[in-house]
Chain A
Amino acid sequence: MKHTLAVLVENRPGVLARIAGLFSRRGYNIESLAVGQTENPDIARMTIVVDGDDRVIEQVSKQLHKLIDVIKLSDITEEEYVDRELLLVKVNADPSVRGEIMQIVDIFRARIVDIGRNTLIIEATGDEGKINAIEASLRPFGIKELVRTGKIAMVRGPKQ
């Protein structure tokens, strides 16, 4: 089962290497890892999606928690949370199919952020399902380039 971990870490060089290294050397698989600074510039937050059974997740959490740079770790899988991923996709778009693509973009409330002679770059945000759906819808036109950020997540309500 996929688990979503919210990890607050010291915002210092080398921290990402420590976290990623822990996963690789202990044989855990990272599905995605998104990292950025928080409201406190000394602290970064990582959203890590990791696949495994309860024992694996327990070990991942404990081992992560052992790292000196990890300040707080929560498994928010069972919580009510909002999650988003950002997608940028460059899709083949001859003038003949542009209208159709623009309709798809509308349906997904995505945006066109660049127009080339025969291509469009589309930006979309949403949960994993939506991002997968728009990707699938655009695939028939021919995707030239695609990049996804991986999931970021935040628990709903006042709870931190």
Chain B
Amino acid sequence: MAVRQVTEAIELSEVKDLGNLSKPEVLTGAQILIKALEAEGVDTVFGYPGGAVLAIYDCLYESNIRHILTRHEQGAVHAADGYARATGKPGVCIATSGPGATNLVTGIANAYMDSVPLIAITGQVSLDMVGKDSFQEADITGITLPITKYGYLVKDVKDLARIVREAFYIATTGRPGPVIIDIPKDICTQKAEFMYPPEIDLPGYQLKPYRNGKQINRAAQAIMRAKKPVIYAGGGVIASGAHRELLELAEKLNIPVTITLMGKGSIPEDHPLCLGMLGMHGTCYANYAVSECDLLLAVGVRFDDRVTGRVDTFAPNATIIHIDIDPAEIGKNVPVDIPIVGDVKLALRDLLKLVEPRERRDWLDTIEEWRRRYPLHYEDDNNGRLKPQYVIEQIYEITRGDAYITTEVGQHQMWAAQYYRCRKPRSFISSGGLGTMGFGLPAAIGVQIAHPEATVFDIAGDGSVQMTSQELATIAQYNLPIKVAILNNQYLGMVRQWQELFFNKRYSQSEVLGPDFVKLAEAYGIEAVRVTKREEVRPALERALATKKPFLLDFWVEREENVFPMVPPGGSLNKMLGR
């Protein structure tokens, strides 16, 4: 069966350098795997060797594919994830069987929740040992069933090339996601003729050509009728590369744009139409605009509960148009009036053809008034105490919003989302759906590998960074010039904030004393500095940026600072704490 017609925005993985296909070579499974990865254009894999993947590692030794050795498999999968988010190409990681494979689980779930194209290659015990609770055996395809787009256990070396081909195709097309390939040890050494299939036959996975004439027309009419429209843009805009179309539509129609955490970078945040993030820690003006709007154009988003708050009061007066490539997202959490299933870029292009320019002075004036009255702000009495928001602002200013930012998860992540105004797609890399502490540091490795010349900051909390801090060794080994900026409050900051607000300041187990991070960095051979005062921030950042080496900044910030504004969980967007 022929490769199905796909929309033009979806790039088919290219098959090249396959040699003379008329005379298939006889190769081992491990060789077939490497050759297939090369055919898919893979230049870097992240991984950690072990017994069941030794044959693969032996072949890798002779390949041009670069292998980055992390210190934990979780580091490898997050690094592959970061690489994928920063490039749009699938990230690839390798782990051995059993504990190696199970250590990938968090990273796979993380990629699944944020729709990141990822190929996880795991070793498995030999086929004759499968199912016998053998040494380092884990049913990883079973374990990852609910958190992968698809999973393969290779049972015949003759299937391996086809499986790799299908895995990349599935991971990167439609709504992207992680695919696992579990390869038993004996398959790696068995031989087969290498034939990389040019065609894919997956009857159950058909990417329908994009066709949406009727709904697009309805959407265009609704948009033209609307007086107070808002665009709500998410990760799907970035995944489909639709940021230009989004900006064009917003400007043509003068529609303000609010973004999700995953949507950071879908529109330049210094643009006057950008309202910043919405939802639990969104800006007041974004949340008010959504609460007040008469039309919500939801683009590449999934109405996450951190965005909507209480669903029945979310955009209560709005006609909702939802563009998403995944039909299952339409109406999942919020009823939708006009569904458009398809690639965001193509849908926006179609929409652009059907709408006429519009002025919206009144609506934009109303929003400007909210923006003026309820700006993002924090108390900074300038008494020398260090505010975390100030640190983020300084990172933004010194990098002019041109850096790649990765984050861990917690208060620092929300402050980064609020105060680091992102200007280009794929440059703000954060764990959205799963909220994985420990994501940022290894993700930064993937980002820096993908963009060796770029400035990469991991904005971290002292709690999160300790979850994967062993990856400082990886950073040091490959001399990756990553800047690790820890906002250190010696708390699990977000946990403490919730305990303050909802548990009567009973700080149960949230005071998490870290190590001396400067000494820790130095132990890994990484230069580091501690910053405790406002006036030290800028010089420290300058020093960090002046070096082409990794650098750790340990910012001792005000301990009990809160992230505001805040919509309490399950609350309505128009009722925010600390606005």
Contacts and interface: CB of A to CB of B under 8 A. Distances in A.
Interface stretch (B26-34, B73-81, B138-146, B430-438): B138-146
Contact of B150 (A17, A21, A58, A68): A68
A21 B204 contact: no
A68 B332 contact: no
Which residue of B146, B204, B327 has the most chain A CB atoms within 10 A of its CB atom? B204
A65 B146 CA distance: 15
B328 A65 contact: yes
Interface in B120-170: 141-142, 145-146, 149-151, 153, 170
A1 to B, nearest CB: 18
A70 B204 contact: yes
Interface string B168-205: 00100000000000000000000000000000001111
A62 B325 CA distance: 12
A63 B145 contact: no
A51 interface: no
Contacts of B527: none
Interface string B309-350: 000000000000000001110111000000000000000000
A65 B327 contact: yes
Contact of B202 (A9, A17, A62, A68): A68
Nearest to B328: A62
Interface string A20-35: 0110010000000000
B326 A66 contact: yes
Nearest to A14: B141
Interface in A1-53: 9-10, 14, 17-18, 21-22, 25
Contacts of B328: 59, 62-63, 65-66
Range class of the B interface residue count: 10 to 19
A69 interface: yes
A21 B326 CA distance: 20
Contacts of A59: 328, 331-332
B145 A21 contact: yes
B6 to A, nearest CB: 15
A70 B202 CA distance: 10
A142 to B, nearest CB: 41
B372 to A, nearest CB: 41
Contacts of A22: 146
Contact of B146 (A21, A58, A62): A21
A66 B325 CA distance: 11
Nearest to B179: A68
Interface string A110-136: 000000000000000000000000000
Nearest to A59: B332
B419 to A, nearest CB: 37
Given A59-B332, A63-B328, A68-B204, 5 more contacts: A14-B153, A17-B145, A55-B331, A62-B327, A62-B330
The 6 closest A-B pairs by CB, nearest first: A62-B328, A71-B204, A68-B150, A71-B203, A68-B205, A70-B204
17 contacts: A9-B204, A10-B204, A14-B142, A14-B153, A17-B142, A18-B145, A21-B145, A59-B331, A59-B332, A62-B328, A63-B328, A65-B328, A68-B149, A68-B150, A68-B202, A68-B204, A71-B204
